[in-house]
Amino acid sequence: MSHVYFDPDELRQGKAYTLSSEIRGEDGRIYDLEEWIARGGNAAVFRCRDRGSDEPRAIKFLLNFSRSSKKRFTREIDLLKAVGGNHFPKYYGSGVVKAKRTGPSGVSGKLRFLIMELADCNLDDLVRSERPISYERYAGQFRGLATALAELHKSAVHRDIKPENIFVAGERWLLGDYGLCSLVAPGEEDVAPLGINMGPKFWLSPEAQNRRLGIDEAISEDSDVFQLASVFWYVVNGRHPTGILKETDWAGPRKLFPVMEQALLHCRDKRPKTGDEFLKGLEEALAAQ
């Protein structure tokens, strides 16, 4: 019998859902649930297996049933379907599965799910276990992730870029987890009220921090640039880019420091405005001798 839960502690407390139907994607493929991988604020991720091909996949279940969470999950599915490129997780399917809550209430309902590429680990795991990461290893990945951000910015702002949301699949680093994305289209409802954390707790842009203080400052494409550059800094230096940054703090090639310094400026007007601008600056620096 398959159980869905936020984390193993909840399962031990009897807080889980028992699946009462097959996990079937919209294309008819059936998946068998395997071990738990991770949890987020609103969802849990498990390993699963395509019954037809026997290929391993990742399955994400939405376990927060508020209106805004449902809308964000739908948005995440739509974005994963739409984006293309070697540095995005591959989309394999989505749907709903019947489930029953364990315990006295025994409430029955449906769980929404998303099937995607299974990663080996996330970038935080990689840096912690293999630091330092060599230039030969990270240079092409930085270009690929900046390319992915430029592609995403055609339709959305990510707002939740952190090492845990960049996945490592073989030799590819993937920009994932679009649960907090806001769409670029005018008139699109936002889900970022003032005074709350909107984004990665330890990787917030200055404007995201300001929103927590009640300052009505937009979180936009340049905020994503700040977050991605923060992750790049962490990969190269093994440390968070807190405080005033000097070239002597930088452990990578000197040619990359000006790009990172500009992307991490507190003044957003002086940062690259979009992922595309950041990518162009990064490519020029990488090509320099």
pLDDT tens per residue across span 211-258:
888 888 889 999 999 999 999 999 999 999 999 999 999 999 999 999
Over 60: is that where the pLDDT of 193 sits?
no
Looking at the chain, the whole-number percentage of residues with pLDDT higher than 70 is 93
pLDDT at 102: 86
Work out the burial of residue 226: count CB atoms within 10 Å of its CB; fewer than 13 is exposed, 13-18 middle, 19 or more buried.
Answer: buried
Same domain, 173 and 221: yes
- Mean pLDDT for 156-170 is 96
| Residue 120, token pair as written in the block | 């080996």
Same domain, 62 and 109: yes
Same domain, 53 and 148: no
pLDDT tens per residue across span 80-106:
999 989 999 999 999 999 999 887 666
Same domain, 257 and 131: yes
Same domain, 141 and 198: yes
Rg (CA), the chain: 20
Nearest to 228 by CA among 202, 178, 263: 263
Same domain, 108 and 171: no
Residue 14 confidence class, pLDDT cut points 50, 70, 90:
confident
Same domain, 68 and 88: yes
- Full domain range(s) for residue 57: 3-116
* Boundary of a domain, candidates 94, 116, 138: 116
Same domain, 156 and 269: yes
- Mean pLDDT for 1-13 is 89
CA distance 113 to 203: 27
DSSP lists the bridge partners of residue 19 as: 99
* Boundary of a domain, candidates 60, 84, 116: 116
Same domain, 261 and 135: yes
- Mean pLDDT for 4-22 is 92
pLDDT at 1: 55
pLDDT at 194: 46
CA distance 219 to 208: 6
Which range, 33-42, 51-60, 176-185, is most confident?
51-60
Over 80: is that where the pLDDT of 190 sits?
no
Long-range own/partner contacts, residues 36-42 (CB < 8 A, 24 or more apart): 36/5, 36/7, 36/8, 39/6, 39/7, 40/177, 40/179, 41/179, 42/69, 42/72, 42/73, 42/179
Q: What's the predicted TM-score (pTM) here? A: 0.92
The residue with tokens 């984006």 is 83
Looking at the chain, the whole-number percentage of residues with pLDDT higher than 90 is 79
* Boundary of a domain, candidates 116, 142, 170: 116
pLDDT tens per residue across span 196-209:
566 788 899 999 99
User: For the chain, how many structural domains are there in total?
Assistant: 2
| Residue 269, token pair as written in the block | 């007007």
* CATH code: domain of residue 153: 1.10.510.10
Same domain, 89 and 173: no
Same domain, 246 and 141: yes
pLDDT at 188: 55
Over 70: is that where the pLDDT of 137 sits?
yes
* CATH code: domain of residue 104: 3.30.200.20
